[in-house]
Chains A and B, each alone.
Chain A
């Protein structure tokens, strides 16, 4: 069964991902995403009874490290690429609705 993603749905997802799409791009992407969802539907249609879900392509579990401190970056390195810095911190545009 074919999945028809609407342009409105594409716009919603694009907004969540902070992507700016033109009207034509939205229509174009709607078609592409619908094709991907079609493929998921095709897999879903298979009889997967008794087949355990795949959590990760690697058959590894419990990859852990010891709780030991390692060197950090220097503050100069940390802030070196920041567009704006103040008081040793990253200065970013204030988020709407946040109170000082």
Chain B
């Protein structure tokens, strides 16, 4: 949860209510060129330098579909377990300066990908209704008149983005609350990046999210009236906007008013949503088939070639890692271990853990050191030699290094590589011979007779103090477990 006041207040305001969320995610495809012309698909170029007669909609120009964009849409479909089907293109008509043609070419009633799902780290499956291909719009910047010399209010339009290929991925209303909505987008982003479909940069608009939010009393079956919230440019915005919008709807219903279905704009600074003037009266886009484009009917060979080389998806990687670590008696993974698995996969460190296990490292310990320590510097961790990491884990598992020592050695490994045994020696972590431990224990017992007497009398908590003294005497080189065992043995 974010620490914002909105999030904190959200829990109270939503008591007794369930928030239902469905998401529409627009994903820019990582092609070299636009969807229907050869203009570069590149972020950040000078305004109106990546346009041609086709994306400007000049008379006589004709769109031709980009093969790579279709291949990437097929990869999206495969990665989201969709059925990939024949599809057609429509014109979505509206008058707004972000499209010079006054229409956007999109897939309407026959999208390329339908009926899939995405599995969250929690194990919950979120249905994917469809994913369709469409072209992006231009960018408009709205200028105010006040204070500027050339006075009048106006908008400035850059068409570099007009015609950039997108897939719009539409989920079913399967998410319950802001946290799950954020988890869905994070997972979807990871899938799209892994598939080579998108760079996943939300801050550059590569992924843009609209949220359909409604509320219903807990236990109710019927969905409430939904509102669509736009302008969600980060996971944080998404979470805050969903919480705020749900609270707004609950407040309406609890005061006897009703929710009106509408499109609302999220204001990140104000932390609230407000009704938007729609682009077109009653969203009547007068769709009709695009006469300049023929149907798309990818055959099996096309689909298989496009989907070739898709890597394991995050959910599969979590399953692979989870299968390698010990489960509880009920067959489930402890929650903390599941979190470690999710973190490890999220940071792309699962290959390290799997490889270390293949070298004989203890599974649970390898996972813990990866998710808790190595994860702090994920880039260095991805360069870690799995064999060296495996030996470090074994040094700790066998008791040759204490947990604290193992973490210090790991930090060195991450910082500069090397051999764990050598680093341990350099740090003075050579395990004490049992003789040296006995000597140290003798000295501590002699120096603390009162405490020793209490320990002998059965006061177990004194063991901590005595162990600490031994550690101090050996400058931390003794192994905590070994000291505890030696103390217990001496008491008899």
Contacts and interface: CB of A to CB of B under 8 A. Distances in A.
Interface of A: 12, 15-18, 55-56, 58, 60-73, 75, 78-79, 84, 86-100
B39 interface: yes
A72 B32 contact: no
Contacts of B434: none
Interface of B is mostly: loop
Contacts of A60: 294
Given A56-B88, A88-B47, 17 more contacts: A12-B281, A56-B289, A56-B291, A56-B293, A58-B294, A61-B294, A64-B64, A67-B66, A68-B32, A70-B37, A70-B39, A78-B56, A86-B154, A94-B142, A94-B143, A95-B155, A98-B140
Interface of B: 31-33, 37-40, 46-53, 56, 64-70, 86, 88, 93, 95-97, 110, 140-144, 152-159, 276-277, 280-281, 284, 286, 289, 291, 293-298, 302
Nearest to B38: A70
Nearest to B160: A72
Contact of B281 (A15, A84, A88): A15
A12 to B, nearest CB: 8
7 contacts: A15-B281, A67-B67, A78-B48, A89-B48, A89-B158, A94-B152, A97-B276
A30 B158 CA distance: 39
A16 B155 contact: no
Contacts of A18: 95
A87 B276 CA distance: 28
A68 B157 contact: no
Contact of B52 (A73, A79, A90): A73
A64 B298 CA distance: 11
Contacts of B276: 97
A58 B292 CA distance: 10
A75 B40 contact: no
Nearest to B280: A16
A86 B475 CA distance: 71
A24 B15 CA distance: 58
A64 B65 contact: yes
Contact of B277 (A58, A61, A97): A97
B294 A70 contact: no
